[in-house]
Structure 1
Amino acid sequence: MDGETTLEGVDTSVDSGNADATADLGSCSGAMSRGETCEITMQVTAYEPGPYSGVLTVETSAGETLTVPFSGQAVGDDPTATTSPAPETPEPTDPTPTIDPTESPDPGIT
């Protein structure tokens, strides 16, 4: 297995901005030969608009540490914001009947 290495672990750190980053080895499992490629999956979650930056770090079975800087600009919605549905409009009720005080419910009583 001369010339092959295995990616042992991946980590992320955010240096600036209000954000979190996560990563996993994606398709980078098993021994890899020199020049072979694979894809590491990384996701950044920003909590407010603005710039962010950080470092993706990968450790290999050969004892090497590979670092890749990343940066971006967060725009748009706050992921913690929620919306509430509009309150329901109540169904209309029958109008309350009105009684004319000059009319008596019992004949002969006034």
Structure 2
Amino acid sequence: MRSDIKQVNLCLLLAYCYNIPMDTLLQSQVFFFISSVGFVILWILTAIFLFYLIRATKTFSKILDQMGDDIESMGDTTKEMLEDIRDSAVFGFLFRKKKKGRKSKED
């Protein structure tokens, strides 16, 4: 019986406290506490995002450097192949340079 009375008193107290207006100082303290916690969480999330963004940028830069090196080596290999083909006897036989005839000088 006594616990029922305590529960009823607690419910009445909560209902009464819910309707009591907060004074301005308490409202400002609650507001600044909540906003401070929000800004700390926001900065933590921003720091995590920047960390992963920097990591991704470094990885992307390494990939681009590797691609550039591979493209250069492919270009060098291609140039060497073209020189070998031009120097070969088969290429010389198939694509002979035409000899230019002499033009007579007319005065």
* TM-score after normalising by structure 2: 0.31
Q: Highest CA radius of gyration, 1 or 2? A: 2
Q: Which has the higher contact order (CA 8 A, sep 6+)?
A: 1
* TM-score after normalising by structure 1: 0.30
Structure 1 or 2: more strand by fraction:
1
